[in-house]
Amino acid sequence: MAPQFESGFLRDDFGIRARLGIPELPVPVGREPNAKELVVEADVFIAWHKRTAPALASRRHDLPMLYQVWLHRPQTTEKMGRAVYFEAGGDQYSVFASLAPTLFARKLPGGWLREKMLPAQKQSTGFAQTIIPRIEEQLPGTTLRPADIDGNIPISPQRFEDLFLNSGVELEAWPFAEVFARELSELAAAATHAKTCGRALHLRHF
């Protein structure tokens, strides 16, 4: 079970499943909150999917896009989903999105970008973002919006793409319904197979 599906649909971190009137997936009472997998009776998941899939399909045009930020390895076709960085007003900011309906920047503590974030990025992937765009150069006359109570600064997809133009950073977008309907269908097929084998459906956390 992909973490994006678990957070974005099962836990409904974005509030979209509730908006569609789709109930929570019934799970056994008393399960361990830190268990490595979620065990659901196959019949229960199949019944939930029969209610969920039509609701998702019928409202697909009303649902948001989901965004993924990619960082390309220089001189290759390889890319990875990573946080990316930019500068504005002498400060450094990070942006990360992995199938999220909104893009947010967060201000980094002074000096962290080059002392901590870029070295950590290179250590974990073998490469790091080489071009750090400055908003004053890429988008003259533009300022960032105020941060919310959690320190998140909203950025529109178009402004993100303009800011990171020619920097090795890519923003990809997929329809919400398409992304999660595909995973739902795969899990429903797994539930059907589990039912024929007389087993429960095991949804493993990744």
Same domain, yes or no, for 37 and 92? no
How far is Cα 55 from Cα 65, in angstroms, rounded to an integer? 17
Asked whether residue 17 falls in the same domain as residue 103, the answer is no
Please classify residue 160 by burial: count the beta carbons closer than 10 Å to its beta carbon, then call 0-12 exposed, 13-18 middle and 19+ buried.
buried
What's the domain count of the chain? Answer: 2
Same domain, 96 and 8: no
In the chain, which residues have pLDDT < 70? 1, 28-35, 205-206
> Structure pTM?
0.83
Residue 94: in which H helix or E strand, if any? strand 91-95
**Is the domain of 48 the same as that of 137?**
no
The number of angstroms, rounded, from the C-alpha of 167 to the middle of its chain's C-alpha atoms is 21
pLDDT attached to residue 5: 87
| pLDDT score recorded for residue 44 | 93
Does residue 55 sit in the same domain as residue 86?
Answer: no
DSSP 8: I
Give the pLDDT score at 30. Answer: 45
Q: In this structure, are 160 and 199 located in the same domain?
A: no
pLDDT at position 192: 94
| 167 and 142 together in one domain | yes
Provide the domain limits for residue 108: 65-174
Q: Are residues 104 and 24 in the same domain?
A: no
